[in-house]
Amino acid sequence: MGNMAITVRGKNIDITPALKDYVTKRVGKITKYFDGASMGEITAILIVNKGRHIVEVTVPINGILLRGEEATPDMYTSIDLVIEKLEKQIEKYKTKLSRKLKSGSFKTELIPTATLASAPTLGDDEFDIVKTKRFAIKPMAVDEAVMQMNLINHDFYVFANADTEEVNVVYRRKDGRYGLIEPEF
């Protein structure tokens, strides 16, 4: 795939042409799974920290972000492992998604809004907000949001529902199934 854009950045390490070439070749292994898919720019960040060689690779595909990170004492090993990890993720989600879509087993359950409203309210000063995160909300289908949530390993995911154009939240329930929260105005 000649049209693949890769950015390789280093922290406390010189990115030699050989290293960049290696990353590009290895990442090429992942992109073959997505012929014709719209791929954004792939970023690989190589960091050396106290003898640990950390590689962080982000691959945006069709609006979904695949991310893997590995740390070993050797940069080339870290690169190999991160690619392996991403390949496993891709395999898992490709089969999972196509199965789900085929069987139509993707049912979302709506939570009655009342349960959210009846939660006990605390005074303002009792909440300790440690981090504010801003992110672009892209319209996507519910199944895509679930896949995205699983890829980043979160228990919930906020997205714009492509069908309703409203902000929704999908989340993982304790029973392993998924729930969907929709706003009611």
Distances (CA, A) of 14 to 11, 45, 48, 57, 98: 8, 12, 10, 17, 41
Does one domain contain both 123 and 78?
Answer: no
Does one domain contain both 134 and 173?
Answer: yes
So what's the pLDDT on residue 115?
41
So what's the pLDDT on residue 1?
41
Does one domain contain both 115 and 73?
Answer: no
* Regions of the chain where pLDDT drops below 50: 1-2, 104-125
C-alpha dihedral over 117, 121, 126, 132, to 10 degrees?
Answer: 20
Does one domain contain both 81 and 132?
Answer: no
Give me the number of domains the chain comprises: 2
So what's the pLDDT on residue 30?
78
Residue 1 resides in a domain: no
So what's the pLDDT on residue 10?
93
Residue 59 resides in a domain: yes
So what's the pLDDT on residue 63?
67
164: domain CATH number? 3.30.505.50
Does one domain contain both 84 and 117?
Answer: no
Does one domain contain both 137 and 93?
Answer: no
Residue 127 resides in a domain: yes
Q: Which residues pair with 54 in a beta bridge?
A: 47, 71
CA–CA gap between residue 137 and residue 160 (Å, rounded): 6
Query: Domain range for residue 170?
Result: 109-181
So what's the pLDDT on residue 76?
94
So what's the pLDDT on residue 98?
61
59: domain CATH number? 3.30.160.100
Does one domain contain both 11 and 96?
Answer: yes
CA–CA gap between residue 54 and residue 107 (Å, rounded): 39
Q: What is the pTM of this model?
A: 0.53
